[in-house]
Amino acid sequence: MQRWFFRLASFYRDSRGAQVVELALLLPVLLMLVFGIIDFGRGFFSWVVITNGAREGARAAAVGKDQPTVVGKVERSVSGLYVSAVESGTCTSAANGVLCVTGTNLGGLPDEPVTVTVRYNFSYIVLPNILSWAGGSPLPGGVFPLTAQSTMRLE
């Protein structure tokens, strides 16, 4: 019985550094998972905010407001986001934080639908790194366009 105990004790002495190695191997994966969850939460929050902005813009357009008023209404309703620039009409910028507001049938005839589309260039923190490490094509500049659209009837 004593020999068996000494073998077990020698095995314990030989595996002292295994815990440190396991931590070193798993810590990057766990950190990427945690920060990926945080990134997803930020992205979902941004999508919910621009969806609300599209709805507010469509409501302003449905009561007959012009395009600058609709764009201003959308801009005020997405105040929780980082917005570096606001574009309307044809939006070509792919920079981080650019808010693009487009509308169809603004100022049209009553009982016709009016549509407001909002695009926001959201910047992920962890996702581009994961894609580049996995061998995939990284997002240009880490920017991902989020889009929301709302349609209402003109009054």
H helix intervals, the chain:
2-14, 18-62, 67-77, 127-133
Q: Is 60 exceeded by the pLDDT of residue 69?
A: yes
Mean pLDDT across the stretch 112-130?
Answer: 84
- What is the number of alpha carbons within 13 Å of residue 9 lying toward its C-beta? 6
Q: Is 70 exceeded by the pLDDT of residue 18?
A: yes
What angle separates helix 18-62 from helix 67-77, to the nearest 10 degrees? 150
pLDDT of res. 128: 66
pTM: 0.78
Q: Which of 3-17, 83-97, 124-138 has the highest mean pLDDT?
A: 83-97
Say if CB 79 and CB 92 are below 8 A apart. Answer: no
Say if CB 100 and CB 85 are below 8 A apart. Answer: no
